[in-house]
């Protein structure tokens, strides 16, 4: 029989038990976590030192314990062969190790794992190039001190307004310590962890390590690796239950590991433990719920029915083409938008005959400077003016849906068709810029987007979007609102139309407008008024250009 004792906690006493992971009668493995403690600063799991069967537990959730306190008895498989907990010097799963903030203990565990003959110098692994983005928030740290990791293994998940990025280690080895935590903001070059390189993968000089450990993360493709937010999952979970970022998730390492194994995004799981902490039971419950929702969907008609899986090869030859990261990110964003925003599209036509004449004059005038105006910058100016007149279109719903956040700035995203997919650079302060400035900025940003070099920050902060398919064709389409924005304007191809002027049909150049809006925020009448004001400004640009 072995007495279960709290090991040396490295300082703190009277630490609260927040979770008991086993019951009397359970068989446990050596190293298996038995109870979870939590101080103000860290969560720690107290493991079994030997395998055996739990005979009794003398503590409950909420109790406070200190080093050496007895918390139960274990019928040990190797009775008497193990030292008592307070004597154990090999125990690394104490607060220091769990909090990953004492390198000493972690190094001790690394030493155990690395034969002396293979030992190499520890290296710093730094955050790679984030495509120009800086101070990007860490929403998840996926490794802990003592973990053995592969070069491709994700270390951090970062999240900006626009995208989530998984940052790989770039080098295999054993983690000695992790230098960042959830909620920190990081930039390229910041140290994220100290690593003992795996044998045969040694890089002795720190600088070398920095280079080899900093895989390039291009801003628009590699970086836009979306986390497994499972669009279908978000759709069927009530919005109130979905925390906005993984940074708010409260869960211990074992729970995080379990979630990773199941591919569960912790932000979607409701925590029922103390202080809304997510427990293993919560993960299991979530997975069961998801599985039963998936199987009951078809019968009951509730939730999102899944698309049937079809073996297309039964009907003829097929080949597969994997979607790149931009297309996958777009798919996720579109599904999120489609499932969350009840949207309506309002159609209009505007007579741009005068605007077209003016545009041509300006093109002649600016030809020597190499500036070519298309219709898009003029429309952007007219939108900015209309947004100032109708602030509700320049707003976002708060996360709880209780209020509108009205923006005092006018930043407009413009959809750009690139070889790798759709990207949306944002032109800031459109209301304060001239058509010439907007033309130059849009040309530059569209070019960068097409080259895959547009920084992530240039795709953030939009209040409204414009999608122009006028250069290609079509008479109308229904653009999808890009939440948290509340509206988007689509432009189709302008064409000459016979227009009745009161006494005769006259040929006029008519531009089709498609305004999609979030009907939770914008009423139909407001949308019609917005459309009419935009038409007015585009028919006579004098008010806009003043
Ligand atoms: N009606 C008639 N002609 C139009 C027009 C319109 N509404 N809009 C553009 N044109 C003309 C332009 O004047 C230009 O003709 P010229 O070379 O003879 O002057 C030609 O079509 C090509 O224009 P463009 O599309 O290359 O340039 P733009 O400034 O009008 O648009 C941009 C810039 C970035 C919006 C555009 O290039 C683009 O990428 N559009 C696609 C957006 C997209 O994919 N939307 C879908 C998103 S949701 O899936």
Q: What is the pLDDT of residue 278?
A: 86
Tell me what pLDDT residue 245 has: 40
Q: Is the distance from CB of 93 to CB of 165 less than 8 angstroms?
A: no
Name the least confident of 228-242, 277-291, 299-313, 421-435.
228-242
Q: How far is CA 502 from CA 351, 352, 390, 506, in A?
A: 15, 18, 31, 10
Asked if the model's pLDDT at residue 137 lies above 50, the reply is yes
* pLDDT for position 499: 97
Q: Is 278 helix (H, G, I), strand (E, B) or coil?
A: strand
Can you tell me which atom of ligand 1 is nearest the CA of 479?
48
Centroid of chain to Cα 517: 24
CB 153 within 8 A of CB 168: yes
Q: Is residue 222 over pLDDT 70?
A: no
Q: What is the C-alpha separation between 153 and 143, in angstroms, rounded? A: 9
CA distance 34 to 31: 9
Tell me how far the alpha carbon of residue 521 lies from the centroid of ligand 1, in angstroms.
Answer: 29
Enzyme catalytic residues = 519
Higher pLDDT, 540 or 256: 540
Q: How would you label 110-119 residue by residue, b for 16+ Cβ within 10 Å and e otherwise?
A: beeebeeeee
Distances (CA, A) of 275 to 19, 317, 493: 11, 55, 56
Q: Tell me the three state secondary structure of residue 347.
A: strand
Greatest Cα-to-Cα distance within the chain, rounded to the nearest angstrom: 107
Between 337 and 243, name the one with better pLDDT: 337
What mean pLDDT, rounded, does the chain reach? Answer: 81
Q: How far is the CA of 360 from the centre of ligand 1 (A)?
A: 16
**Cβ(420)–Cβ(326) below 8 Å:** yes
Q: What DSSP state is assigned to residue 28? A: E
Residue 461 burial (10 A CB sphere; 0-12, 13-18, 19+): middle
The owner of tokens 């389409």 is: 477
List all residues whose CB is within 6 A of at least one atom of ligand 1: 374-376, 414-417, 422, 446, 467-471, 491, 493-494, 511
**Segments in 263-418 forming alpha helices (H):** 280-300, 325-340, 353-366, 375-389
pLDDT at 283 over 60: yes
**Residue 69's pLDDT is what?**
93
Top pLDDT among 423 and 183 is at 423
Of the two residues 377 and 276, the one the predictor is more confident about is 377
Q: What is the pLDDT of residue 223?
A: 31
Which atom of ligand 1 sits closest to the CA of residue 446?
34
Distance, in Å, from the CA atom of 193 to the CA atom of 65, rounded to the nearest integer, reads 31
Q: What is the DSSP letter of 364?
A: H
Ligand 1: which of 329, 331, 337, 374 to mutate, most ligand atoms within 8 Å of CB?
374
**Closest atom of ligand 1 to CA, residue 511:** 7
Tell me the CA–centroid distance for residue 80 and ligand 1, in Å. 79
Average pLDDT of 304-322? 93
Alpha carbons 244 and 522: distance in angstroms, whole number: 24
Q: Any residues with CB less than 8 A from the CB of 403 and at least 6 apart, and which?
A: 397
Mutate to test the pocket of ligand 1, among 468, 475, 496, 509 (most ligand atoms within 8 A of CB): 468
Write the pLDDT tens digit of every residue in 478-528.
999 999 999 999 999 999 999 999 999 999 999 999 999 999 999 999 999
CA of 275 to the centre of ligand 1 (A): 53
């Amino acid at each position: 029989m072995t007495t279960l004792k709290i090991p040396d906690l490295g300082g703190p006493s009277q630490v609260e038990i927040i979770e008991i992971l086993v019951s009397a009668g359970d068989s446990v493995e050596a190293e298996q976590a038995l109870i979870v403690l939590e101080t103000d600063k860290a969560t720690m799991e107290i493991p079994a030192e030997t395998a055996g069967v739990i005979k009794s537990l003398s503590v409950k959730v909420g109790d406070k314990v200190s080093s050496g306190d007895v918390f139960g008895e274990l019928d040990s498989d190797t009775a008497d062969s193990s030292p008592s907990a307070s004597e154990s010097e090999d125990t690394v799963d104490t607060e220091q190790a769990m909090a990953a903030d004492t390198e000493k203990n972690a190094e001790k565990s690394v030493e155990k794992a690395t034969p002396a003959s293979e030992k190499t110098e520890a290296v710093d692994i730094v955050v790679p190039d984030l495509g120009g983005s800086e101070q990007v928030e860490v929403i998840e740290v996926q490794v802990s001190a003592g973990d053995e990791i592969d070069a491709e293994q994700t270390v951090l998940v970062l999240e900006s307004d626009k995208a989530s990025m998984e940052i790989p280690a770039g080098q295999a080895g054993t983690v000695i310590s992790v230098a960042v935590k959830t909620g920190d903001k990081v930039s390229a070059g910041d140290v994220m962890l100290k690593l003992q390189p795996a044998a045969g993968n040694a890089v002795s000089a720190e600088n070398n390590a920095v280079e080899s450990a900093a895989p390039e993360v291009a801003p628009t493709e590699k970086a836009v690796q979306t986390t497994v937010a499972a669009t279908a999952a978000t759709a069927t979970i009530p919005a109130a239950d979905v925390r906005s970022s993984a940074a708010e998730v409260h869960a211990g390492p074992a729970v995080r590991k379990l979630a990773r194994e199941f591919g569960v995004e912790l932000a979607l799981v409701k925590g029922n433990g103390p202080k809304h902490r997510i427990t293993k039971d919560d993960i299991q419950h979530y997975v069961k719920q998801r599985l039963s929702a998936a199987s009951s969907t078809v019968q009951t008609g509730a939730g999102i029915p899944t698309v049937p899986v079809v073996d297309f090869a039964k009907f003829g030859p097929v080949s597969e083409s994997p979607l790149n990261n931009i297309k996958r990110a777009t798919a996720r964003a579109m599904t999120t938008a489609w499932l969350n925003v009840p949207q309506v599209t309002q159609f209009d036509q505007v007579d741009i005959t005068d605007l077209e004449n003016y545009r041509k004059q300006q093109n002649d005038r600016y030809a020597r400077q190499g500036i070519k105006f298309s219709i898009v910058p003029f429309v952007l100016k007219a939108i900015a003016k209309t947004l100032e007149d109708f602030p509700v279109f320049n707003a976002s719903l708060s996360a709880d849906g209780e209020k509108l956040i009205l923006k005092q700035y006018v930043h407009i995203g413009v959809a750009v068709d690139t070889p790798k997919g759709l990207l949306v650079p944002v032109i800031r302060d459109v209301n304060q810029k001239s058509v010439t400035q907007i033309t130059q900025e849009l040309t530059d940003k569209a070019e960068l987007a097409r080259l895959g070099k547009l920084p992530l920050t240039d795709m953030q902060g939009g209040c409204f979007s414009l999608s122009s398919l006028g250069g290609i064709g079509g008479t109308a389409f229904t653009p999808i609102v890009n939440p948290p924005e509340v509206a988007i304007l689509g432009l189709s191809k302008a064409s000459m139309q016979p227009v009745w002027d009161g006494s005769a049909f006259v040929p006029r150049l008519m531009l089709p407008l498609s305004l999609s809006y979030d009907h939770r925020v914008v009423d139909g009448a407001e949308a019609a008024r917005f459309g009419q004001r935009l038409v007015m400004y585009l028919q006579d640009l004098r008010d806009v250009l003043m």
